[in-house]
Chains A and B, each alone.
Chain A
Amino acid sequence: MDRTLIGIPASPGIVVGPVHLLRWEVPDVATRILADDSIPGEIDRFRSAVDRAKDRLAGVRDRAAAHAGPEEAAIFDVQISILEDEDLALQVESYIRQNLAAEKAFDVVLIEWRQRFAHHASPMMRERVGDLTDVHIRVLSILLGLADHDPVDVPKGSKAILVTHDLTPSLTVQLDREAIAAIATDAGTRTAHVAILARSLGLPAVVGLRDATIRLTEGEHAVLDGSTGTLVINPTEAEVNVFRHRAEREARDEAELRLHASAEPVTTDGVRITLRANVDLPEESVPAANSGAEGVGLMRTEFLVVGRTAMPDEEEQYRAYRRVVEAFGGKPVVIRTYDIGGDKLPLGGYPHEPNPFLGWRAIRMCLDESDLFKVQLRALLRAGMHGDVRIMLPLVVTVDEVRQSRRLLDEAASELSERGVAFRSGLPLGVMVETPAAAMIADTLAREVAFFSIGTNDLVQYTLAVDRGNVNLAARFTPLHPAVLRLVKRTVEVGHAAGLEVAVCGEMASQPVMAFALIGLGVRQLSVAPRAVPLVKHIVRGISVGLATEAADAALHADNAADAERQLAGRLRAAFGDASFLGDGLLGS
Chain B
Amino acid sequence: MVERSVHVINKNGLHARPAAEIVKAAAKFRSDITIVRDDLEVNGKSIMGVMMLAAEYGSELLLRADGADEQDAVTAIAKLIESKFGES
Q: Identify the A interface with B (CB < 8 A).
A: 74-75, 77-78, 81-82, 84-88, 113, 116-117, 120-122, 124-125, 128, 131, 309-311, 313-315, 346-349, 371
Contact = CB atoms under 8 A, between A and B. Distances in A.
A77 B48 CA distance: 14
Contacts, number: 78
Contact of A371 (B11, B27, B54): B11
Contact of A311 (B12, B24, B47): B12
Interface residues of B, number: 23
Contacts of A78: 16-17, 19-20, 47
B35 to A, nearest CB: 13
B26 to A, nearest CB: 10
Contacts of B56: 122, 124, 348-349
A127 to B, nearest CB: 8
A525 B70 CA distance: 66
A82 B48 contact: yes
A75 B16 CA distance: 8
B13 A349 contact: yes
A310 B87 CA distance: 9
Contact of A81 (B11, B12, B24, B54): B24
B71 interface: no
B45 interface: yes
B73 to A, nearest CB: 15
Contact of A314 (B15, B46, B47, B88): B88
A85 B11 contact: no
A371 B12 CA distance: 12
A77 B13 contact: no
A122 B23 contact: no
B52 interface: yes
Interface of B: 11-13, 15-17, 19-20, 23-24, 27, 43, 45-49, 51-52, 54, 56, 87-88
Nearest to A126: B54
A124 B13 contact: yes
Contacts of A82: 47-48
A81 B21 CA distance: 9
A578 to B, nearest CB: 55
Contacts of A86: 43, 45-46
A131 B16 contact: yes
A113 B51 CA distance: 12
9 contacts: A81-B24, A85-B47, A87-B48, A124-B15, A310-B17, A315-B88, A347-B13, A348-B15, A371-B11
A85 B51 CA distance: 12
A113 B48 contact: yes
Contacts of A113: 48
**Interface of A (DSSP majority class):** helix
Given A124-B56, A310-B87, A348 B13 contact: yes
A348 B54 CA distance: 9
Given A87-B43, A347-B11, A125 B88 contact: no
A392 B87 CA distance: 27
Contact of B87 (A85, A131, A313): A313
Contacts of A315: 88
Given A85-B46, A125-B54, A347 B16 contact: no
Given A85-B48, A86-B45, A87-B43, A310 B88 contact: no
A88 B49 CA distance: 10
A346 B46 contact: no
A313 B88 contact: yes
Contacts of B54: 120-122, 124-125, 348
A370 B74 CA distance: 35
A84 B13 CA distance: 22
A347 B58 CA distance: 13
A84 B24 CA distance: 9
Contacts of B15: 124, 309-310, 346-348
A82 B16 CA distance: 10
Contacts of A81: 19-20, 23-24, 47
A128 B45 CA distance: 18
B51 A310 contact: no
A125 B51 contact: yes
Contacts of B88: 313-315
Contacts of B46: 85-88
B56 to A, nearest CB: 6
Given A81-B19, A88-B46, 4 more contacts: A87-B48, A309-B16, A311-B11, A313-B87
Contacts of B51: 117, 125, 128
B28 to A, nearest CB: 13
Contacts of B45: 86
Given A78-B17, A309-B16, A346-B15, A87 B49 contact: yes
A318 to B, nearest CB: 12
Contact of B12 (A84, A131, A346): A346
A558 B13 CA distance: 54
Nearest to B43: A87
B48 A88 contact: yes
Given A81-B23, A125-B54, A309 B17 contact: yes
A86 to B, nearest CB: 5
A573 B88 CA distance: 57
A246 B51 CA distance: 53
Nearest to A87: B46
A133 to B, nearest CB: 14
A124 B17 CA distance: 12
Contacts of B47: 78, 81-82, 84-85
B44 to A, nearest CB: 10
A113 B52 CA distance: 10
Find the residue from B19, B46, B49 having the highest chain A CB count within 10 A.
Answer: B46
Nearest to B20: A81
A122 B12 CA distance: 13
Contacts of A309: 15-17
Nearest to B10: A310
Given A310-B87, A346-B15, A348-B15, A84 B23 contact: yes
Contacts of A310: 12, 15, 17, 87
Interface centre among A77, A116, A128, A346 (most CB of B within 10 A): A128
